[in-house]
A and B are shown apart, each in its own frame.
Chain A
């Protein structure tokens, strides 16, 4: 009958278990093999449109990785990460078209711009905790398309029409076409970012983030500057999602305000829940989910993906709170029970 509320994300988090060195080697081998497969199979078999979709799924996976850092591991709810995705995309678009910067140089700049923006938005809301961040980020996501359309910045953003950019050419020594090259580029970057984040989350900083999620009062009592850690985590998260947005601009070769409406933010949120809140590999499932589900669903009706998204989201929250990433553990638990019987 207790009505006390669990901490945000409390039931959804994963425990990080220390592993023996032998297991570490095995794990590294599995990761390498998975990466090689993810690189080779699509290059060999996928059409250029399929490659484009996979590239996009990669950028979404990175964006959800960013969102998962703040929501999954730090317990702060953001409903507006689409805004950072948008700002990252526009930063790259503007730098490439107005300053003739090569695409790869724009990426760190987009990440930093979004990090700073994240800091600015996170600062007022994160001091207060609770739902204030969700409310502020939701509002940001609703307002962003309008800002991008604003006539005062039209010269830079291209206004309602948006801006076209040029897909980078594959370096000649690779022998790949442009789509294949971009896919590999995004895949490699994604792999690096996922590894970096996995390391970060196992470090002291990662432990601090999780302790704020699970035991905020205790963390504060131990002398942690909670607001500061939360704000920095949010900035990092916004930066990673911004980087993903930048990559998406390059992949799509076009940015326009209406591709960054509130639904994008909601899709990222759904992708996070479906992939697995507080899971490191979860965002990969999430990215694939938000690219490929609409293809299936749209054959039913234009509105169907949204309805199905909503239903799937609620379904996962009720029945599979650990998302796709929780499947293996669920199945393992099932087997363990069987054996006991």
Chain B
């Protein structure tokens, strides 16, 4: 029983990371109908920035905040410079640009920070396990951070004028222009936010899996699975899907397939969702978009 409870809690902790990245993916998907295949690499890049700042002597939370600001800037900049000229281009050209971004970020990291595995500090380090050994300090802290972030994102979109405008721009760009919303900037802002959320996910997972250029690749896969499971056009669904996939991964890893096939499990989840319910649990029904 103790083992099961531990796996559940660990699943929720990693699920929060998947949920964050899934949310970042869905935010961009909703407004552009494109999947950012470089989302994981951008998050890893942000984590390297955080590490550099910490090693330069900044206190953890100062480095954390600075990383968020820089990541936001990178996101906005990327959209304005690279994606904007592609708005009317073919889907293939857009996917190509995402792949190009992925390559540039991934290898720029190798270039600037080397390929060696680095350890990343956790602000929630505690030597004494909590709740009778059920949960580590970092698991508890990172889950809290993810929940706060998800809550803030919800409040932002739900209750602020800017959040409403961003939702409107995602749903209906031409009507949004008619009420005076600068749709282009809303997209860039969405990219900035997505990059910021990804950065938080990266900084929260890095103490667990260690930092290297490939760090987010598997996490991106689970985020895809989570987003699909919850519904690729539904941010709330994607968050729930992310948590669900985290729990499935941990239970499956502990009792079914072992940790060696974790990525395959994500692939299986993706294929199962596509076969059984392609719209996901909370998404709108997918029309065959030929």
Contacts and interface: CB of A to CB of B under 8 A. Distances in A.
B257 to A, nearest CB: 9
B147 to A, nearest CB: 27
Interface stretch (A7-15, A55-63, A246-254, A327-335): A7-15
B252 interface: no
Contact of B173 (A3, A140, A226): A3
A307 B112 CA distance: 12
Given A142-B218, A301-B111, A313-B99, A306 B93 contact: no
Given A139-B221, A303-B107, A5 B88 contact: yes
Interface in B154-179: 173-174
Interface string A9-35: 111100000000000000000000000
Contacts of A3: 87-88, 173-174
B70 interface: no
A50 interface: no
B90 A11 contact: yes
Interface stretch (A90-98, A162-170, A269-277): A269-277
A277 B109 CA distance: 29
A192 interface: no
B261 interface: yes
A269 to B, nearest CB: 6
A130 interface: yes
Contacts of A146: 260-264
Interface stretch (B119-127, B130-138, B188-196, B268-276): B268-276
B103 A306 contact: yes
Contacts of B87: 3
Given A147-B264, A306-B107, A269 B274 contact: no
Contacts of A270: 99, 103
Given A311-B104, A318-B85, A71 B92 contact: yes
B266 interface: yes
B289 A130 contact: yes
Interface residues of A, number: 64
A65 B95 CA distance: 19
A111 interface: no
Interface string A291-333: 0000000000111111101110110011001000000000000
B288 A143 contact: no
B108 interface: yes
B97 interface: yes
Nearest to A212: B290
Contacts of A11: 89-90, 93
A304 B95 contact: no
Given A9-B90, A128-B278, 12 more contacts: A79-B95, A127-B274, A130-B33, A139-B266, A143-B221, A143-B266, A146-B262, A307-B107, A310-B100, A317-B86, A317-B93, A317-B100
Contact of A135 (B109, B264, B270): B270
A310 B103 contact: yes
Contacts of B261: 146-147, 150
Contacts, number: 172
A185 B290 CA distance: 40
Nearest to A1: B174
A220 interface: yes
B100 A314 contact: yes
B267 to A, nearest CB: 4
A134 B95 CA distance: 9
Contacts of B101: 310, 314
A122 B270 CA distance: 12
Nearest to B112: A303
Contacts of A128: 274, 278, 286, 288-289
A266 interface: yes
A139 B92 contact: no
Nearest to B38: A310
Most B Cβ at <10 Å: residue of A128, A147, A321: A128
Interface of A: 2-3, 5-12, 71, 75, 77, 79, 121, 124-125, 127-132, 134-136, 138-140, 142-143, 146-147, 149-151, 212, 216-217, 219-220, 226-227, 262, 266, 269-270, 273, 277, 301-307, 309-311, 313-314, 317-318, 321
Contacts of B270: 135-136, 139
Contacts of A217: 290
Contact of B35 (A121, A131, A305, A314): A131
Contacts of B86: 317
A310 B42 CA distance: 14
Contacts of A9: 90-92
A9 to B, nearest CB: 5
A26 to B, nearest CB: 33
5 contacts: A129-B288, A303-B107, A303-B108, A317-B86, A318-B85
A131 B270 CA distance: 13
B80 interface: no
Contact of B89 (A6, A136, A227): A6
A309 B100 CA distance: 7
B72 interface: no
B274 A5 contact: no
B96 interface: yes
B224 interface: yes
A226 to B, nearest CB: 6
A309 B85 CA distance: 20
Contact of A6 (B90, B221, B275, B278): B90
B102 interface: yes
Interface in B27-77: 33-35, 37
Closest 6 CB pairs of A and B: A306-B107, A310-B103, A216-B290, A310-B104, A303-B111, A303-B110
A2 B173 CA distance: 12
